Chain A
Amino acid sequence: MNFSRIAHNLNYVFSVVLFLLGLYTIAVKPNLVKKIMGLNIMETSVFLFMVSIGMVGSGNAPVVTEGVKPATMVNPIPQALILTGIVVAVSTTAVALSLCIRIHEHYDSLNAFEILGRDELF
């Protein structure tokens, strides 16, 4: 493993850790709302990863202004993609949470195991 490169790419390392934390929450926590929070953490970790790829050290925001060379600007494409991604993330969260409300009305519980009626998923 290239440890000096890993130490330099700190943003990537932290987004990997956040991704794993979100995955852990989704897989292990039984509460459905907690699972959705984990999903949100996973989404933001991917956003952080993609925007960090387009980063330029001591760069400028991608807005054309007087006296700023295009070569020193950060990459605008990941930013435009992630902008739509954030709004899609809140839409999926809204749908998932409204399903949670209906599930709670029907089963009177948000615990995935109580809803399934057994203790283990596998």
Chain B
Amino acid sequence: MRKAIMLLALAGIGVMLIYAVGEMPPMGDSGNPDKTHVAPRYLEHGEEEAGASNVVTAVRLNYRGYDTMGEVAVIFCALCAVVAVLGREKTGLSRTHMDVSRVKASVVVRTTVRFLVPVIIFFAIYIILHGEETPGGGFQGGAIIGASIILFTLAFGLPESTRKIPLKSRVPLESFAVIAFLAAGFTGILFGANFLTYIMPGLSEHAAETIRQVMMMVIEIGIGFAGGIIFTSIMFAMIREDKYELQPDSS
């Protein structure tokens, strides 16, 4: 019964949406309405106005900086929610079911991971630092860093992983993106401009350009590392289980 009602409702929604698709302008046409307002300006002047030849990065950091700042706050809040629901791990003491069972990852897996993880992190740093000229940037690099640490944890187990990146070194990094964004924003106010202005008034062109590059770099590095560490912390909080935890004196 529930299924029948649902299918009927879905059919209704589907017919309406498909009808709307028929009324939309043809896909891939360069004269479509979405390409007539701000998009041409962003594409033509993005490089000198926003200081990034990758226009996606220019939009993300400069034209729509508020969006990105809110988004960074959202992933920080997600970490807070996960930690509030599941709790933090204890460094070197928290274990998973896999760590308790006798099954260990094979030598092949462990050796491969040991070689791969530094290479992946190196690639991630390249992606973060080159986000202004090539495809890439903070979010992409951060996700790759998080994936590499997840790979390490799956091969070597949670105690080893939490000893390598202990909680007290992760906590300051987690809020680094929000802090970097706010710092860059208030720098603008300090110089008498608006919040999140990159070009400071009253400076020579060269100095203003240098300050803009430095600010964008700090924000990108902040988003990248904080994103990666937040994904790592979420994964650690989800994978550990209370019942397998070691006592501090017995270790």
Contacts of A78 in B (CB 8 A): 34
Q: By the criterion CB–CB under 8 Å, are B55 and A64 in contact?
A: yes
Q: By the criterion CB–CB under 8 Å, are A83 and B139 in contact?
A: yes
Q: By the criterion CB–CB under 8 Å, are A20 and B14 in contact?
A: yes
Q: By the criterion CB–CB under 8 Å, are A19 and B17 in contact?
A: yes
Q: Which of B18-26, B97-105, B108-116, B185-193 is the contact stretch?
A: B18-26
CA–CA, A122 and B9, complex, Å: 15
In the complex, chain B residues 2-51 whose Cβ is within 8 Å of any chain A Cβ? 2-3, 6-7, 10, 13-14, 17-19, 21-24, 26-30, 32, 34-35, 38-40, 42-44, 46-47
CA–CA, A65 and B79, complex, Å: 38
Q: By the criterion CB–CB under 8 Å, are B6 and A20 in contact?
A: no
Q: By the criterion CB–CB under 8 Å, are B10 and A98 in contact?
A: no
Contacts of B38 in A (CB 8 A): 77
Q: By the criterion CB–CB under 8 Å, are B17 and A16 in contact?
A: yes
Interface of A is mostly: helix
What is the minimal beta-carbon distance from A56 to any residue of chain B, in angstroms?
5
Q: By the criterion CB–CB under 8 Å, are B86 and A70 in contact?
A: no
Q: By the criterion CB–CB under 8 Å, are A76 and B21 in contact?
A: no
CA–CA, A9 and B20, complex, Å: 11
Q: By the criterion CB–CB under 8 Å, are B24 and A12 in contact?
A: yes
Partner of B75, one of A53, A76, A91, A98: A91
CA–CA, A64 and B53, complex, Å: 5
Partner of A102, one of B22, B23, B85: B85
Q: By the criterion CB–CB under 8 Å, are B55 and A76 in contact?
A: yes
What is the minimal beta-carbon distance from A50 to any residue of chain B, in angstroms?
10
Q: By the criterion CB–CB under 8 Å, are A120 and B227 in contact?
A: no
Q: By the criterion CB–CB under 8 Å, are B28 and A57 in contact?
A: yes
What is the minimal beta-carbon distance from B132 to any residue of chain A, in angstroms?
10
Partner of A16, one of B21, B44, B55: B21
Q: By the criterion CB–CB under 8 Å, are B27 and A12 in contact?
A: yes
Q: By the criterion CB–CB under 8 Å, are A1 and B68 in contact?
A: no
Q: By the criterion CB–CB under 8 Å, are A95 and B82 in contact?
A: yes
Partner of B238, one of A12, A23, A87, A97: A97
CA–CA, A31 and B242, complex, Å: 25
User: Across chains A and B, which 6 residue pairs bring their CB atoms closest together, nearest first?
Assistant: A57-B28, A91-B78, A2-B22, A70-B43, A80-B59, A64-B53
CB within 8 Å of B: which residues of A?
A: 1-3, 5-6, 8-13, 16-17, 19-20, 23-24, 27-28, 52-57, 59, 61-65, 70-73, 75-81, 83-84, 86-88, 90-92, 94-95, 97-99, 101-102, 120-122
14 example contacts (A-B, Cβ-Cβ < 8 A) are as follows A5-B23, A8-B27, A9-B26, A53-B27, A61-B135, A63-B56, A64-B43, A64-B53, A75-B35, A75-B39, A77-B39, A80-B67, A84-B60, A95-B81
